[in-house]
Structure 1
Amino acid sequence: MIDLSLRENPVGARVGQTFADKMAILPRLREFGFKNISLGTLDYAMPDEREVDDDFMEALQADGADLSGCFAFTAVGIADESGNFTPDPSQLKLRAYGVPNTVHEIYLSPRNMQGQYDYETLRRSIPESVMWLMENIRGEKGAAPRIFINIVDGCDAFAENQEQTLSILEMLAGLPLEGVTFEDDRGTYLPCQVGAYTAAIRAMLPEAMKVLVHIHAGAGYENASVIEALLNGADGIWGGLPKRAAVIGHASVGELLANLTRLGNEKVAKTYHLHDLLPLATALQITDDLAEVPDDLPVFGHNAYRVSLASFRQLPDRQTDLPAEAIGGVSRYRVCPVVSDSVAVAGRLAEVMFTEPGHFPTDVIEMMIRLMRRDLRLGRRIPYDEPERLIELHARAVKACQPVVESAHEH
């Protein structure tokens, strides 16, 4: 896994990250357990206008920071028909900032190559660009740089330009690469398509080369697509820890870690500090957006582990369940007038009143449910999950039950 919390998340955020934010985030990512971290992107538009990423990488180099496992994204340089090679500005920055590894980006669909290069130019340029990196970038501890080739429009390339895409993959198989990665950059391809494309790449590359994927949210398939890619030979993914991404979200590293834990992958718990997963992911997204994480976001949202019905609880001894406590959260309850049962109502009331669910008499909790149903039948739409409204409902239920209690005493 390559973590992109320093770039992927702020790209689609309302605010983004300052230099100070990045300096504070990097050690937290290391502490969580990430061995591979992208410091930022250097192949952005208008390279003469510096970004925070430039300042950040330059400062790390000046401070003599340990950049082991660090990457930056770069674009392919261009070789002309005479064999003259011109490195991309991002490659020159990579060298200047001393970043030891890179994810080197290319496009392969006709639509996206247009205006950048044609197929023949790309075929000439990729080997020259990789050789330039090997000769000019000092890797970790003096070794060669670790280079991934990322096919930014990977799904489009397979769907629209399969023959040339396979030809490029055949060429990549013979280059000194760490691996190949591809994207569904709009999140619109079906999981079965992503799986098929992954299988094709895996079949074209040597076993030692890694295959990574990066899937954006678009049609709601993103996490299913990642699982399908892993089942078809992918070694992992790159992405940010939170859900926030360049579009409306992505299959995040955080979500994958949670889902692998859910599926019983024992390596995850040995590699990462899972008890920090939920608080770290949500804290990073709040930093990027200056806003709370959406309540109904799967895995990391406030309501992801607040159940309205006892049967919705996720249990530690049930296959594919992932209790909130496993990733640093707390299992809680919420009150929905139509469906909440006595477990949910008592649980939420206990949270609001800072006590234990067993503190409340069964008849009072049942009366609260009855009153919610009666209110709806009378056309009253009350958000009982809000603390003040729930306390008011509880008081009404106690009062409604009081005559029964007094009658019992008199008897």
Structure 2
Amino acid sequence: MTPKKIETYDATLRDGMQGEGMSLTAAEKVRVVRKLDELGVDLIEAGFPGSNPKDLELFELLAGEQLTHSQIAAFGMTRRRDVAAEDDPALQILAECFAPVCTIVGKTWRLHLEKVVRVTPEENLELIRDSVAFLVGAGKRVIYDAEHFFDSFREDPEYSVACLRAAAVAGAERVVLCDTNGSSLPHQIGAATRAVREQLGSEILVGIHCHNDMEVAVANSLAAVAEGATQVQGTMNGIGERTGNANLVTLIANLQVPLGYDLIGAERLTRLTEIAHFVDELLNQNPDPAAAWVGRSAFAHKGGLHVAGVRADASTFEHNAPELVGNERELLVSELAGKHTILEKASAAGIAMDDAAAARVVERVKDLEHQGYQYEAADGSFELLLRQEAGDYEPLFRLESWRVIVEQRADGKVETEATVKVWLDGERYVQTAEGNGPVNALDAALRAAIVQVHPHLASVELVNFKVRILDEAHGTDAVTRVFIDASDGSAVWGSTGVHENVIAASWQALVDSLAFAEQGAARRRRSGAEAPS
């Protein structure tokens, strides 16, 4: 039996950009379009051409794009109340733009007719009919978004359906039910969608557009599909105004994997995690680790019982295989972990470890986490800990001392200087460096000392730095935990440090980040591979 096709409609570039802090240049939006095309999204709503200089530039750029699957949809509204459709400048822009699809939004709720557009219900139906008919006459495929449909349906179901019928009769290829305020629950969405399908008949296609104000946008969209909607609208990672839109990433995975609908195909589905993270990174926001399906923690296991279960049969604690969406399983290290997790981590790092050593690591981790350490995001520090217990660890250097001086002058300028004294291969190295802060200065001074013996470490860069206070009741003398992410250009690893002094905690994390890089270089040298340049 052929799976039922569900059309995917992405509104990231228009509705998503209405979210607080969301902004992309026209060129960046084109990059998103290319990725969505690679993912196999059917329709991409690019915005309203001509509404502002950025959208004007975007449509000019998109006109020259050769997409392999996706089609671009231009967005607009029904005609103004006192202007004929053919004379409405906004509709003329839609009719003249290159996009083959036009999505227009119209009013449905009597509250808006009275308070916003100030037209009668009959006049509103004319606005809908005229606008759709004009664009269809211009050769466009038209999708009609019924704004606030579900709010209207609860008050006046007959008029709500009349608005949809007006668009369909005028030639709209699909009518979309919009939960614009995010005020509906799944049972309400399902009942209303079922009623629409019964009254309009199967020949009129229905779509669903939900907002996440009550955190049920995905559930609401699934309820509509269950009642016959064949298009789902949403945004990548659920971004959008207020609390966001339905998360198209989650919708694609939910509909295609457990429910068996045809959306983007199995091969493209394996790129879902990659492309979801790409959009987050382009928006300069960290991907949500707890995001369903594509989050770093979506298939992460921490408890010893869970880890043992997953090792025996992944389905014991996983709803589906992470590989389906391009994600991967992660066995987290914590005080809850058992020796199976330790052995798995050691094996992955190429470290020979027996059960006794693994048991010692478990106890050591429990003690260190009690002190404030955490290794879930500090894979570099944890591998060093494993190597210490396995007897496969050589310190990067022997510390004599380090010192940091921070001076603020009367003119407001702040200068930071660090001095590091270390011993390597029996030689004493003393280096002083300036930086834009104590950690940067320490890094510069330490790097200047050790690269004389380990020149490959010059390529390691610190890419992220986080500080957290562990016991807030102690105020400024509280214990702090520092996380550092470092990269050699091809891999990224985390390290951690804990101390009452934030600089000392940072020093620990900094040293671990470089020691981990050196351990990797040593492994490559032993195996005959080259260290990264």
TM-score by length of 1: 0.80
| Paired letter, 2:91 | Q
Distance 1:150 1:343, change over 3 A: farther
Distance 1:35 1:158, change over 3 A: same
User: Matched residues in 1 for 2:65 and 2:388: separation?
Assistant: 65
Contact 2:41 2:70 in 1 (8 A): no
Instruction: Give the aligned partner of residue 407 of structure 1.
Output: none
Q: After TM superposition, give the deviation of residue 389 of structure 1 in Å.
A: 4.8
Instruction: Give the aligned partner of residue 71 of structure 2.
Output: 69
Contact 2:151 2:183 in 1 (8 A): no
| Paired letter, 1:116 | V
Instruction: Give the aligned partner of residue 374 of structure 2.
Output: 383
Q: Which runs of 5+ in 1 are unaligned?
A: 139-144, 400-411
1:121 to 2:123 alignment: yes
Q: Which runs of 5+ in 2 are unaligned?
A: 1-7, 392-533
Contact 1:76 1:104 in 2 (8 A): yes
Distance 1:362 1:244, change over 3 A: farther
1:332 to 2:330 alignment: yes
1:11 to 2:18 alignment: yes
Distance 1:175 1:297, change over 3 A: same
Per-residue CA distance 1:266-301 (angstroms, 9 max, x = gap): 6346376112111011101211x2122122222222
The correspondence of residues 146-161 of structure 1 with structure 2, limited to 5 A, is: 146-161=141-156
Per-residue CA distance 1:21-49 (angstroms, 9 max, x = gap): 12333233222223322222359xxx4xx
Instruction: Give the aligned partner of residue 344 of structure 1.
Output: 341
| Paired letter, 2:327 | G
User: Matched residues in 2 for 1:191 and 1:147: separation?
Assistant: 27
Q: After TM superposition, give the deviation of residue 204 of structure 1 in Å.
A: 2.3
| Paired letter, 1:322 | N
1:292 to 2:286 alignment: yes
User: Matched residues in 2 for 1:185 and 1:269: separation?
Assistant: 26
User: Matched residues in 1 for 2:319 and 2:340: separation?
Assistant: 19
Q: How many aligned residue pairs are there?
A: 376
Contact 2:101 2:141 in 1 (8 A): yes
Out of 357, 363, 367, the position equivalent to 1:364 is 357
Instruction: Give the aligned partner of residue 219 of structure 1.
Output: 214
Per-residue CA distance 1:159-197 (angstroms, 9 max, x = gap): 233332133234344331211112223434211111112
Bigger share in strand: 2
Contact 1:72 1:103 in 2 (8 A): yes
User: Matched residues in 2 for 1:333 and 1:390: separation?
Assistant: 13
Q: Out of 159-168 and 223-232, give the one that drifted further.
A: 159-168
Contact 2:75 2:103 in 1 (8 A): yes
Out of 298, 316, 322, the position equivalent to 2:320 is 322
> Higher RCO, 1 or 2 (CA under 8 Å, sep at least 6)?
1
- Identity, % of aligned pairs? 19
Q: After TM superposition, give the deviation of residue 97 of structure 1 in Å.
A: 2.0
Distance 1:291 1:182, change over 3 A: same
SS of equivalent to 1:290: coil
Instruction: Give the aligned partner of residue 38 of structure 1.
Output: 45
Distance 1:215 1:345, change over 3 A: farther
Q: CA RMSD in A?
A: 3.2
Contact 1:173 1:205 in 2 (8 A): no
Q: After TM superposition, give the deviation of residue 224 of structure 1 in Å.
A: 1.6
1:305 to 2:296 alignment: no
Distance 1:224 1:64, change over 3 A: closer
User: Matched residues in 1 for 2:142 and 2:215: separation?
Assistant: 30
User: Matched residues in 1 for 2:212 and 2:345: separation?
Assistant: 32
Q: After TM superposition, give the deviation of residue 311 of structure 1 in Å.
A: 6.5
User: Matched residues in 1 for 2:323 and 2:233: separation?
Assistant: 25
TM-score by length of 2: 0.63
User: Matched residues in 1 for 2:253 and 2:158: separation?
Assistant: 37
Distance 1:38 1:335, change over 3 A: same
User: Matched residues in 2 for 1:189 and 1:283: separation?
Assistant: 31
Q: After TM superposition, give the deviation of residue 333 of structure 1 in Å.
A: 2.0
Instruction: Give the aligned partner of residue 243 of structure 1.
Output: 238
Distance 1:89 1:244, change over 3 A: same
